[in-house]
Amino acid sequence: MLKISNLNKHFADLRVFEQFNLAVPSCGFTVLIGPSGCGKSTLFDVLMGAVPKDRGKFYWQNESVANLASKAAYMQQNDLLLPWFSLLDNALLPARIVGSNLTKANDKALDLFRRLKLNGFESYHPQEVSGGMRQRCALVRTLMFEHDLVLLDEPLSALDAITRRSLQSLLLLLQVEFHKTILMITHDIEEALLLADELVVLTHRPMSIREKLVLEIPKPRQMSDPRLVAIKDQVIQQLEKELNNAAF
């Protein structure tokens, strides 16, 4: 379990978090959704140690940690593939940097390429393939980290609607097959509803939890499911209220 306790972060006069608390259960899929500019991405920067926190504690598996840099894999909107490496070499980057057994990593990567239907494209360079394939390769790279925790920062928002739908089912793989603990940020309410075990609706700055919804609907889900439609309306209302609050 990941626990964030009493997190504080100010940028000059901007109060991003004040006494922010969040718990992410192990092997769960927790999705954060909130008005834009509420500090979701800053939360990830702080979690990963890219931006220092002012106060607060992080716990991973009941152990206090300074940040999650060596505990979590991180995937974001931008695939961040290196154009000078082939897709396979990009996927092998974490293994190469850590200095782990490359033959083993290579086998694992090839297996993941097959699973994510990237086989045959191992030697292609990122600029030679589509955005969806690049993001799938970024997903392989994320899986190549030997970490149980995965942070997803709007990983699919740069893709077109159809590609996004097909990749959402692949994100489920992270949970179902690889038993990762997932914390995801998204702006896409439907995406959140399709994937989340726990949906956390956030307030505007300073960021706090407006409502936490537990979705006990089995996955894979369909957006036409009346239960999801009902929750969707509820979430939209909540977000609209937040947006109105932010305006005043």
Residues that bind another protein (CB under 8 A): 48, 50, 69-70, 72, 74, 76, 78, 80, 82-84, 93-94, 96-98, 125, 127, 145
Residue placing its CB nearer to another protein in the complex, 127 or 222: 127
**Which of these, 171, 208, 210, lies nearest to 188 by C-alpha position?**
171
d(CA 65, CA 129): 38
**Closest distance of CB 75 from another protein, Å:** 10
**Closest distance of CB 237 from another protein, Å:** 34
Whether the CB-CB separation of 73 and 109 falls below 8 Å is answered with no
d(CA 58, CA 61): 10
Residue placing its CB nearer to another protein in the complex, 9 or 210: 9
d(CA 228, CA 92): 38
Residue placing its CB nearer to another protein in the complex, 96 or 117: 96
**Closest distance of CB 33 from another protein, Å:** 22
**Closest distance of CB 30 from another protein, Å:** 20
Residue placing its CB nearer to another protein in the complex, 19 or 70: 70
**Closest distance of CB 50 from another protein, Å:** 5
d(CA 213, CA 231): 9
Q: For the chain, give the longest Cα–Cα distance.
A: 58
Residue placing its CB nearer to another protein in the complex, 95 or 199: 95
Angle, CA of 153, 154 and 159, to the nearest 5°: 140
**Closest distance of CB 39 from another protein, Å:** 17
What are the DSSP E strand ranges found in 117-228?
Answer: 149-153, 181-185, 198-202, 209-214
Is the four-CA dihedral 45, 51, 54, 55 of positive or negative sign?
positive
Residue placing its CB nearer to another protein in the complex, 99 or 226: 99
